[in-house]
Amino acid sequence: MLNVGDIAPDFTAEDQDGNTHRLKQYRGQTVVLYFYPKDLTSGCTTQACDFRDNLNRLAAGNVVLLGVSPDTVKSHRKFADKESLNFPLLADPQKELVNRYGVWVEKSMYGRKYMGVERTTFILDKRGRIKHIFPKVKVQGHVQEVLNALAD
């Protein structure tokens, strides 16, 4: 389990354009790393579009936004194209990142138990330390919560 103050686990992952991202490349910048369950689903689309619509506010504060789900690069490409997403969506089909960040958890729906991503956002400071964790994110109003936390 990760906590505020911990050094964020490094990673290497591809985005929807096939570009490779390493967390270390963002040292010196604040990073908003958000984990979401699945491309092209209603809640994940709402959340991604809200981030998209506020990207200029994040960029004004020299903040990098990275979305992560277990979907493939191809799935991310479809999602980004359909919703005009203008930030990297990192593919994690091997579930390395979701496990490293502790967001791959047992979930339950209609009495059925299964493994899935717990919608979670991490704010990482310029040194790569976890500054804030938003567990079990509710989509409505979440981007504003992130913006408020960044303003602190």
Alpha carbon separation from 35 to 30, 60, 62 (Å, rounded): 16, 22, 20
| Domains detected in the chain | 28-151 (3.40.30.10)
The pTM assigned to this predicted structure is 0.96
The band of 152, judged by pLDDT with boundaries at 50, 70 and 90, is confident
DSSP 101: T
Any catalytic annotation for residue 44? yes
The model's pLDDT over 37-55, given as tens digits with 9 standing for 90+, comes to 999 999 999 999 999 999 9
- Residue of 13, 32, 44, 48 marked catalytic: 44
Are 51 and 44 contacting, i.e. CB atoms less than 8 angstroms apart? no
The model's pLDDT over 83-108, given as tens digits with 9 standing for 90+, comes to 999 999 999 999 999 999 999 999 98
Arithmetic mean of pLDDT, 61-69: 96
Are 98 and 117 contacting, i.e. CB atoms less than 8 angstroms apart? yes
Which residue type is seen at 91? A
